Amino acid sequence: MSQSAGAETDQEFEELLDFIRDARGFDFTGYKRSTLTRRIRKRMNEAGVQGYAEYRDLLETDTDEFRTLFNTILINVTSMFRDQDAWALLQREVVPDIIADVGPEAEIRVWSAGCSSGEEAFSLAIMFAEALGIEECLQRVKIYATDVDEEALREARAGLYPAKTLEPLSAELREKYFEQNGAKFVFRPDLRRRVIFGRHDITRDAPISRLDLLVCRNTLMYFNVEAQAQILDRFHFALREGGYLFLGKAEMLLNHGERFEAVSIRQRIFRCRPGANNLPYPPMPAKVRPIMGPEVQATTRTRQLRDLILDAAPSAGVALDAEGTVVLINSQARSRFGLNVNDVGRPFQDLELSYRPIELRSLIEQATHERRTLRANGVERHLGDGGTQYYDILVQPISSGPGLPVATNITFTDVTHATQLKAEVKRVRDDLETAYEELQSTNEELETTNEELQSSIEELETTNEELQSTNEELETTNEELQSGHEELETMNDEMRIRTKDLDEARAFLEGVVGSIAAGVVVLTADMKVKSWNRGAVELWGLRAEEVLDEHFYTLDFGLPTTELREVIQKCIASGKRAGPVGIPAVNRIGRSINCAVICSPFDGHNGGVVLLMEDATNAG
């Protein structure tokens, strides 16, 4: 491939990633290109598509293809207490320290980031329940479990697993924490309510705060170095001082020693060092469903005046009730976001505005749970004509008393002009800084010697990063191989079931044929013996193993087989039963008999026939 063709392919690949982000909100731009390209290529080959542009056309026309693609990219390989040694260390040393550190009655907050189908989150629930006792765990422990894969989250919320998934658990733990539901097992309901599942993108969404333990295993390895650094910034912000971070076996914190100290390098357990954090966003807890509070009644006239005032507000606004149903969309919101009066009464989560240009559902749940106003500043909204708008979004819970809020008001303030002005000021400032840097070039040349020494140090660090990257690639490949192995095991189980069914059917048919008193002989299209039942053995004295796969007309026994040639050919030609014909024969004990032979076509066997032979000497 020429250099220009390669550049064009790379451009098409990046355009495909941008399309996936804009169409479905999945941003894969921070993923490692080698892993991402391999997984997307795998799906393209399965779909019979060659180029990235052609595959984008397929995604635009087949919405189900998105789900298949995400399942291919997001390798959901997990299990209960995966890597037993690491979990044993966590349970033996880390959990007791967390319990002692937070105090006897304080809440323990845990986050399972990248929880996949939920096994990791339920493993954490079991671990804390064993340490505290179930009753105290129900009162104190709250586990947030998040992932970007909605399909995996649906499976996780059900908490329903086959027996094979629970094999890592002892029989005692399985009986204690799971209840049988048909052929599967469901996680116990009371403890399940302490595990809160929600969609969350660790590269984009604000982290959950004040955590005692953050578990993110075999997720960082899919991201490039820049994305990993940004994620670890968020993780450090999310953990309280002294909180623990539990990573996967292929993941390390090589350049973050100033923020995390190692508890166990081998098991990838780290502790958050004290230090300031300056992340520009507030912490975000997992989703909590609001409870409907009392409604405030008003007169019809007051309500009409209020609606007119709100509808004429200069900023776009949307109001929801406690159930998340849209109760008001003002004029600005309708014109700016393509909404109409028919959207009033719909669940807010069904509107595109709930997740684009920003994921509002989690912000609404956080504001409702914490009973405080949240703000998201400078949110970008991309328009169809290529333009960009910027909004400051205010999520304000509305209460009518000491209970949970009864409504939520969302205000969108257009700050496009101010943002563009800031960008222009920044551009001018950057130009001035560039000019200043050019004036400083002479001084920088004097520092070249020191930079060369620093370069040697950086090269060593780069080598270390490359080794870590190689290790992560190997772990990714191992994940893919394990996923393939599980698929093969599933296919093997299905083949065993089918083989068993075939054996039972064969035994049944052989039993039926063997129970017929008359001699039954099945011939293939080339007149070789395919079946020779017990009645034929007793009539002619030849065992089945002596005649199977032998040519029928060459067999030497008491029946002159050549005299049957005409009736057999007639049966094959007509496709109908022929006979009976009486043929003088000698049975196995040497007695002369009149053998009645009926020839029937063997349907479905490509020209074979079935011969029914019976001693008709004394008949009639």
Answer yes or no: do 400 and 306 share one domain. Answer: yes
pLDDT over threshold 60, residue 298 = no
At residue 519 the predicted structure's pLDDT band, cuts being 50, 70 and 90, is confident
Q: State which amino acid sits at residue 174.
A: R
* Confidence at residue 285, expressed as pLDDT on a 0 to 100 scale: 37
In a domain, 137, yes or no: yes
C-beta separation of 233 from 207 below 8 A: no
pLDDT tens across 453-487, in order?
A: 777 787 787 787 778 877 878 888 888 888 888 88
Residue 254: predicted pLDDT: 57
Lowest mean pLDDT across 298-307, 384-393, 515-524: 298-307
Q: What is the DSSP letter of 350?
A: G
User: DSSP letters of 535-569?
Assistant: HHHHHH---HHHHTTSBGGG--SSS-GGGGHHHHH
| Residue 466: inside a domain | no
**What is the predicted pLDDT for the residue at 122?**
95
DSSP H or E stretch at residue 448? helix 448-515
In a 3-state reduction of DSSP, which class is residue 396?
strand
Domain end marker among 255, 272, 289: 272
Instruction: Establish if 437 belongs to a structural domain.
Output: yes
Tell me what pLDDT residue 243 has. 93
The alpha-helical segments, DSSP class H, found in 48-178 are 52-61, 64-73, 84-89, 95-102, 119-132, 134-140, 150-158, 171-177
Give the model confidence (pLDDT) of 171-223 as tens digits.
999 999 999 998 999 999 999 999 999 888 888 888 888 999 999 987 777 77
Report in angstroms the alpha-carbon separations of 509 from 220, 366, 475, 571: 58, 66, 51, 23
Sheet containing strand 316-321, edge to edge, reads 326-329, 316-321, 407-414, 388-398, 374-382
Q: Which of 274, 283, 207 is nearest to 241 (CA)?
A: 274
Burial (CB < 10 A; 0-12, 13-18, 19+), residue 407, is buried
Amino acid at 488: L
What the block records as the tokens of 451 is: 């930079």
Tokens coding 73: 């990219």
Q: Is residue 391 part of a domain?
A: yes
Dihedrals phi, psi of 16, to nearest 5 degrees? -65, -45
Whether 452 and 388 map to the same domain: the answer is no
pLDDT digits (tens, 9 = 90+) for 328-342: 888 888 888 888 877
Per-residue pLDDT for 169 more than 80? yes
Q: List the strands of the sheet with 178-181, edge to edge.
A: 160-162, 184-187, 178-181
Domain boundary among 362, 388, 414: 414
Phi and psi at residue 51, in whole multiples of 5°?
-105, 160
Same domain, 526 and 561: yes
pLDDT at 370 over 70: yes
Q: Which domain holds residue 429?
A: 416-457
Are 192 and 92 contained in the same domain? yes
| Per-residue pLDDT reduced to its tens digit, 300-321 | 456 556 666 766 778 888 999 8
User: Could you tell me if residue 529 is inside a domain?
Assistant: yes
The answer as to whether 290 is a domain residue is no
Domain CATH for 316: 3.30.450.20
- Helix H or strand E encompassing 426: helix 416-439
**Residues 163 and 212 reside in one and the same domain:** yes
Please indicate, yes or no, whether residues 589 and 542 belong to a single structural domain of this protein.
yes
> DSSP letters along 152-196, please?
HHHHHHHTEEEGGGGTTS-HHHHHHHEEEETTEEEE-HHHHTTEE
Domain count, the chain: 5
> Are both 220 and 173 inside the same structural domain?
yes
